């Protein structure tokens, strides 16, 4: 694990540099928007961050392959033997970037044997950085200070549950899956990884994600959430998979601050 730890600070710095480049483009307001083949948007900020991160990670560890949202057309036959690889989302929250909300992030994960073991999530506007390494805890770095973070271990007796949701998610799609009789408080936010980090630092109890995402949306934050005491599971409460299928699309998933709560009952999953 020592060799993994030596990659953490360089990965944080690479995420910071990419985030600052995104911030520059965001503040200048001069970017181009392109629609990809899957009808999702990409901007020149996504591509600039992708180029910076890939170049820097290649210099850092040329033996480790890279899978990026902006270069994901790698068939399973070519990647199925990867023991360790970088999984990156150069700009998580492209729609938020375009909309001008500021709620977007840079995601860098190191995946080993199908499991994220290092995760970095950098928020360019707040300049907050969340990070974790397997077995070493989760932290938030801001203003030069590292603070350990832990998810909130809510008890079953508590009536209020704080739920992070996407601004672009129909709220009734979420509420229809929840056990009636509780008091749910919803916090709308942007980037998927930043909502996961809200759970990791105890600002929300759960983030329920319905709709398409890729493995790059969850890799970095999964490591952080797990090291903070939480879990990321699919809607059937099974672990997410990494680099085990031809498709890199995630199922609907949950980010849980308190994994021991009776989620099989709280979720009214059909």
**pLDDT tens digit string along 237-246?**
999 999 999 9
Q: For residue 66, is pLDDT > 80?
A: yes
Return the structure tokens found at 21: 């480049």
How many domains does one find in the chain?
A: 2
* CATH number for 69: 3.30.540.10
Same structural domain for residues 142 and 164? no
Cα–Cα dist 231/140, whole Å: 18
pLDDT tens digits for range 176-234 = 888 887 899 999 888 999 999 999 999 999 999 988 899 999 999 999 999 999 999 99
Burial code (b: 16+ CB inside 10 Å, e: under 16) for 21-37 equals bbbebbeeeebeeeeee
What strand order describes the sheet that includes 84-92? 66-68, 84-92, 105-112, 115-123, 128-133, 138-142, 145-148
Same structural domain for residues 140 and 30? yes
* Exposed / middle / buried, residue 228 (Cβ in 10 Å: 0-12, 13-18, 19+): buried
pLDDT tens digits for range 139-166 = 999 999 999 999 999 888 787 899 998 8
- By residue range, what is the domain housing residue 198? 160-266
Last residue of a domain, one of 99, 121, 148: 148
* CATH number for 226: 3.40.190.80
Closest CA to 21 of 63, 60, 56, 62: 56
Same structural domain for residues 130 and 196? no
Report yes or no on 124 lying in a domain: yes
Report yes or no on 153 lying in a domain: no
Same structural domain for residues 226 and 94? no
Same structural domain for residues 51 and 137? yes
Report yes or no on 118 lying in a domain: yes
Same structural domain for residues 115 and 176? no
Q: Rounded to two decimals, what is the model's pTM?
A: 0.95
Cα 90 from chain centre: 11
Report yes or no on 84 lying in a domain: yes
């Amino acid at each position: 694990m020592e060799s993994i730890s030596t990659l953490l600070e360089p990965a944080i710095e690479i995420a910071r540099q990419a985030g600052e480049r995104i911030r520059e483009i965001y503040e200048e307001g001069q970017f181009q928007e392109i629609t990809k083949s899957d009808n999702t948007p990409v901007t020149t900020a996504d591509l600039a961050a992708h180029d910076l991160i890939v170049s820097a990670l290649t210099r850092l560890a040329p033996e480790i392959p890279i899978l990026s949202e902006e270069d994901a057309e790698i068939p399973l036959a070519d990647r199925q033997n990867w023991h360790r690889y970088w999984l990156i989302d150069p700009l998580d929250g492209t729609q938020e970037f375009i909309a001008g909300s500021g709620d977007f992030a840079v995601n860098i994960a190191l995946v080993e044997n199908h499991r994220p073991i290092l995760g970095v999530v950098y928020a360019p506007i707040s300049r907050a950085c969340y990070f974790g390494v397997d077995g070493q805890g989760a932290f938030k770095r801001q203003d030069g200070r590292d603070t350990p973070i832990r998810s909130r271990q809510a008890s079953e007796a508590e009536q209020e549950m704080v739920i992070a949701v996407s601004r672009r998610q129909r709220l009734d799609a979420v509420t229809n899956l929840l056990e009636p009789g509780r008091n749910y408080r919803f916090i709308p936010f942007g980037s998927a990884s930043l909502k996961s980090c809200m759970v990791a630092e105890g600002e929300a109890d759960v983030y329920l994600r319905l709709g398409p995402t890729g493995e790059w949306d969850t890799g970095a934050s999964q490591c952080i959430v797990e090291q903070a005491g939480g879990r990321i599971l699919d809607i059937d409460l099974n672990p997410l998979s990494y680099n085990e299928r031809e498709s890199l699309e995630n199922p609907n998933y949950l980010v849980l601050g308190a994994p021991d709560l009776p989620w099989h009952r709280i979720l009214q999953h059909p």
